[in-house]
Each structure stands twice: as C-alpha cells, then as structure tokens.
C-alpha cells in the first residue's frame, strides 16, 4: 500500500508540475520622455542627427539562414527596421520639444551638433534591445554604447488604435531621450553654444580647408575646440552658410523619405510585431510544456520500472495493487513523453510561422519606392548614394561661387560702313 501511495503521489506531482507552467503578464509602467517646460534660447538649441541604425546581422552568420532563423534574425526585416526604429526615436525626441531640428540622416552626414548611432541587438515582437552611442561635435561622449532593452507593452497590441497610439517599445525610446537630455543638461550655456559653433566650422573646413583650417584645434582629451572665430561678415563664411542651408534642405528631403517609408509600413509592421509576439509566445509555451512533459513522463516510466517493491512476499493484494500502479505509471509516463514530443512539433510549427510572418513583411517592405530626381528608386541603399553625390555637388557649387568674377570680354569698336 505504501508503494501504491508513493506512485500515486508521483503521478499527482507530475500533473501539478505540468499544470503550473503559467506565464503571468502584467501591464508595463509607462515611461515618457521629459517635456520642455520653457523656451530654449536658439543659440543653445542643439540639432540632433540620428543615423540609420545598424541592422545588427552578425557578419559570420549573414549567409547562414538556419542559424539566423534560430536567433529570429531576418535580414530584410532588420534592414527595414534600421530606418523604422530610427524614425521612432526621432519622433520621440521631436515630441519632447527639447531639441532643434531632429533628423534621420545617412551615414556620411558628420557635421551635426549631436550625432546618435545605434545597433539592433534584438528585435522581435516580444523584446527590443539597442546599443546606443551619442556624442556632440566637440567630441564629448554623451552615451557610450549603452544597451537599452525592454519587453513589449502588451497594451499596445490589444487593438489597432492602441498600436497607433503608443509603440509597444516606447519605453526604450523614452529612456534614450531622457539620457540624451540628462547629458545636455550637464553642459553650460557656453558649452552648448560652442557645440553649435564647432559643427558650423567643421562643415566650413570640410568645404574649404585652406580658408577655415585654422579656426579649430584639438584640445585636452582629443576634444575639438575653437581657436578663433571668423568675422561674422566674412564673405567666405556667408557663402558657407548658404551652402549649409542647401545641405540641410537635402537632408530634410531624405529624412522625409524615411518618414514616408515609416508611415507606409506603420500598420503592417505593427501587425507583424503583434502577430509574431503571439507566434513566439506559442512557440515558447510549447517548448516549455514539451520539456516538462518529456522529463516527468520519463521519470514516471523509470520509477515504474526501477522502484523496489514495498510489499511482502505473501501480501498478494498489495502486490496486485503495486503492479497495477506500475502499469499505470508506465502508460501515463509514455503518454507524457509522446505528448512532449508533440509539443516540440508544435514549437517547430510556431517557429516556422514566425519565419513566414517575417518573409511576408520583408516582401512588403521591399516594395516601397521613392522618387529621387524623377527616378523611381527603392529607398533601401539609395539615400546614402544620393547624399554622397550631393556632397560632391556642394563642393563644386562652393568652388564656383568662390571663384572671382571674370571681367566681361571687351567688345570690338564698331567700324564705319564704307
């Protein structure tokens, strides 16, 4: 009877453990970006350039589709996210009212008051993790490759309206925005003005190193400091400012392309994230249940075989009960193992579902095109090329405007008609 009770308790324990795999989800506390409460002087209002994020696809795995699938990295989705996530950070900074112009910029844009770069470490419907670096034009590091991570706010996945109202990972973007603000607040007003002036002189030096090369010098810690300032009415400086205004117009245009790209994919990307969250959750639950059922089932089978008898040789009733419990344990354990195997199959199917969702989103993202100078081009891979070509053109424009005016050719005197 002791054996029967022992086996019975074992079965109850297995059932209890199997039934206790419950994931409790609670609403995440909402973090907001700190809002400006007073007007910031224009001379201290810093512009921010956010480079398109590094997609974070490991170089050693870029051709290994199976390994990337296991890590839920879908290269084409990541390419789209490199712009989509940068736009969402930009929107967060703009909405705070703490900054001047905030733009998503190509990689070759260098001369900006504050430059933010980021690498995607993980991006699924469940989790987002970014490694972020930010520095100003002087060379101060504001954020040094800091990792920002967050779980999805499931409240954003409830309805389409909720998804549009608040990004599921808004806490991540707000946290970055607040750290940028904290870094700015550590600078004095004079230091902020210096950041703006240095960015201006760096741009000028890039166009005309001969005229503007002596205005900046390296200081302590490799920081770039102002050695002297050009006169405010310096003709060369006036020309540079006009060229810089044109440059900003082009950067604004490219930023507008990124905004349009994000808006066109807003609903489909949100749906992809929400559905992939459900598929990943299904996969994780299936794997957890598979492990639990397989281990407990195997334990029950082994116990039914190897646990020694507790009945005396003459107690036939006890032996019959014990044999029945052993048989039941073996049957139940085998069923649990088979159920676990089925759950592994369910997990595999759920993983395949995530991949199919990613492929569907990739196809939609790849179909987006923009009009650049009358040509229809895919956004991916063209913004950088267009900006580099524009920079070459800017240098030519500056050289042409800087060249002294040539005197008009003398006209030959009119001769009297015979």
Residue 411 is predicted with a pLDDT of 42
How distant, in Å, are the alpha carbons of 5, 139, 388 from that of 223? Answer: 77, 5, 26
Higher pLDDT, 33 or 334: 33
In this prediction the pTM is 0.72
* 346-365 residues labelled b (16+ CB within 10 A) or e (exposed): bbeebbebbbebbeebbeeb
* Rg from Cα positions in the chain: 33
Across residues 249-268, what is the average pLDDT? 82
Strand partners, 225: 217
pLDDT digits (tens, 9 = 90+) for 14-56: 444 444 444 555 667 899 999 999 999 999 999 999 999 999 9
Residue 407 is predicted with a pLDDT of 45
Give the pLDDT band (50/70/90) at residue 404. low
pLDDT of 186 higher than 50: yes
Higher pLDDT, 175 or 126: 175
Closest of 132, 142, 90, 75 to residue 254, by C-alpha: 90
Across residues 233-259, what is the average pLDDT? 85
CB-based burial label for 261 (10 Å; 0-12, 13-18, 19+)? buried
SS3 128: strand
What is d(CA 141, CA 222) in angstroms, rounded to the nearest whole number?
11
How distant, in Å, are the alpha carbons of 25, 286, 303 from that of 17? Answer: 20, 15, 17
How distant, in Å, are the alpha carbons of 166, 170, 178 from that of 150? Answer: 14, 9, 15
Residue 230 tokens, joined: 């050009």
CA angle at 69 for the pair 65 and 73, rounded to the nearest 5°? 100
Contact, 112 vs 105, CB < 8 A?
yes
Across residues 141-150, what is the average pLDDT? 97
Across residues 221-226, what is the average pLDDT? 91
What is d(CA 275, CA 289) in angstroms, rounded to the nearest whole number?
21
Residue 324 is predicted with a pLDDT of 55
Higher pLDDT, 391 or 24: 391
């Amino acid at each position: 009877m002791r054996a029967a009770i022992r086996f019975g308790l074992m079965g109850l324990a297995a059932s209890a453990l199997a039934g206790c795999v419950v994931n409790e989800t609670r609403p995440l506390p909402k973090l907001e970006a700190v809002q400006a409460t007073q007007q910031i002087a224009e001379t201290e209002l810093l512009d921010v350039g956010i480079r398109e994020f590094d997609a974070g696809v490991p170089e050693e795995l870029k051709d290994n589709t199976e390994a990337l699938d296991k890590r839920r990295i879908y290269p084409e989705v990541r390419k789209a996210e490199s712009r989509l996530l940068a736009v969402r950070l930009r929107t967060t900074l703009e909405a705070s009212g703490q900054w001047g112009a905030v733009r998503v910029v190509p990689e070759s844009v260098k001369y900006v008051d504050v430059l933010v770069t980021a690498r995607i470490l993980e991006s699924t419907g469940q989790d987002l993790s970014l490694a972020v670096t930010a520095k100003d034009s002087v060379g101060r590091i504001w954020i040094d490759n800091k990792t920002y991570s967050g779980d999805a706010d499931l409240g954003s996945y409830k309805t389409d309206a909720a998804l549009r109202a608040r990004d599921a990972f808004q806490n991540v973007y707000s946290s970055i925005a607040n750290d940028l603000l904290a870094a700015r607040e550590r600078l004095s007003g004079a230091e902020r003005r210096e950041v703006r002036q240095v960015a201006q002189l760096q741009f000028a030096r890039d166009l005309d190193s001969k005229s503007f090369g002596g205005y900046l010098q390296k200081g302590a810690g490799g920081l770039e400091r102002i050695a002297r300032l050009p006169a405010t009415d310096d003709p060369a400086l006036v020309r540079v400012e006009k060229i810089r205004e044109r440059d900003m117009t082009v950067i604004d245009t490219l930023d507008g392309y990124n905004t349009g790209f994000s808006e066109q994919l807003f609903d489909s990307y949100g749906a992809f994230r929400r559905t992939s969250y459900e598929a990943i959750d299904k996969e994780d639950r299936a794997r957890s249940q598979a492990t639990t059922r397989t281990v407990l089932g195997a334990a029950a089978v082994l116990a039914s075989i190897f646990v020694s008898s507790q009945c005396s040789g003459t107690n036939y009733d006890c032996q019959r009960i014990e044999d029945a419990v052993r048989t039941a344990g073996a049957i139940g354990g085998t069923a649990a193992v088979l159920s676990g195997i089925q759950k592994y199959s369910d997990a595999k199917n759920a993983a395949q579902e995530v991949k199919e969702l990613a492929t569907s989103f990739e196809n939609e993202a790849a179909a987006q095109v923009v009009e650049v100078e009358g040509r229809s081009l895919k956004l991916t891979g063209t913004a950088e090329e267009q900006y580099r070509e524009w920079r070459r053109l800017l240098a030519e424009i500056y050289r042409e405007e800087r060249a002294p005016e040539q005197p008009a050719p003398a006209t030959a005197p009119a001769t009297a008609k015979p």
